[in-house]
Amino acid sequence: MTEQPSPAPPKPMVGVVMGSQSDWETMRHASEVLDALGVPHEVRIVSAHRTPDRLFAYGRQAESRGLQVIIAGAGGAAHLPGMLASVCELPILGVPVESKALRGVDSLLSIVQMPRGVPVGTLAIGPSGAANAALLAAAILARQDSGIRDALRSFRASQTDRVPESPA
Ligand code: RP5
């Protein structure tokens, strides 16, 4: 029997980008939640400071490539989410990565304090923020996608089921 070619993977709906390889330990939590919800996504390193051309190309091409939401994580002087928002009209969800020097407060303030007119939806510092960015991206996509809506509902139901009534 001849082997059938495997079907093409679904086109990514979410871009998960980060400023450095060192951010992956945080940003993998976003990717894992998107995987769990069955949301097709891509993962890229795009540094605002070290690869500015890559940043502008990614931001400018994101919508025409079919992405619907971008999750951007960065640490320190964290310009990546804001600079992506400056060249791209998709919703940008910013994740402040915990920095060594200031424990991510620098990242948080860099991302959250966007001037009026160019918004970035800012999540919590660290892995919780990365995971919640994925849930928020899924909630945005769920308005138009019943499969993602069902996955999000069952995620929340199973989270609720796991909360005991009393401490062990
Ligand atoms: C930022 O600088 C990155 O987002 C990262 O959080 C931080 C440190 O980067 P590395 O020096 O670890 O590459 O641009």
CATH number at residue 31: 3.40.50.1970
Question: How many domains does the chain fold into?
Answer: 1
Ligand 1 mutation target, pool 17, 18, 23, most atoms within 8 A of CB: 23
**Atom of ligand 1 lying closest to residue 97 CA:** 6
Say if 120 falls within a structural domain.
yes
What are the pLDDT digits (tens) for 143-160? Answer: 999 999 999 999 999 999
Say if 1 falls within a structural domain.
no
Say if 51 falls within a structural domain.
yes
Check pLDDT > 80 for residue 141: yes
**CA 53 to centroid of ligand 1, rounded, Å:** 17
pLDDT, residue 150, reads 98
Check pLDDT > 70 for residue 129: yes
What is the sign, positive or negative, of the torsion defined by CA atoms of 120, 33, 161, 145? Answer: positive
What are the pLDDT digits (tens) for 37-81? Answer: 999 999 999 999 999 999 999 999 999 999 999 999 999 999 999
Q: Is the CB of 47 under 6 A from ligand 1?
A: yes
**CA 43 to centroid of ligand 1, rounded, Å:** 16
**Atom of ligand 1 lying closest to residue 50 CA:** 14
Check pLDDT > 80 for residue 1: no
**CA 162 to centroid of ligand 1, rounded, Å:** 35
Say if 82 falls within a structural domain.
yes
Say if 79 falls within a structural domain.
yes
Rounded Cα distance between 123 and 131, Å, is 9
Say if 41 falls within a structural domain.
yes
**CA 77 to centroid of ligand 1, rounded, Å:** 9
How many Cβ atoms sit within 10 Å of the Cβ of residue 146? 8
Check pLDDT > 90 for residue 9: no
Predicted structure pTM score: 0.95
Ligand 1 mutation target, pool 18, 20, 50, most atoms within 8 A of CB: 20
Q: Is the CB of 126 under 6 A from ligand 1?
A: no
Check pLDDT > 90 for residue 139: yes
Phi then psi for residue 83, to 5 deg, are: -70, -35
What are the pLDDT digits (tens) for 69-128? Answer: 999 999 999 999 999 999 999 999 999 999 999 999 999 999 999 999 999 999 999 999
Distances (CA, A) of 99 to 23, 73, 103, 155: 10, 12, 5, 30
Say if 9 falls within a structural domain.
no
Say if 7 falls within a structural domain.
no
Q: Is the CB of 142 under 6 A from ligand 1?
A: no
Domain limits for position 38: 14-159
**Tokens describing residue 129:** 């923020």
pLDDT, residue 99, reads 96
pLDDT, residue 23, reads 98
Check pLDDT > 70 for residue 3: yes
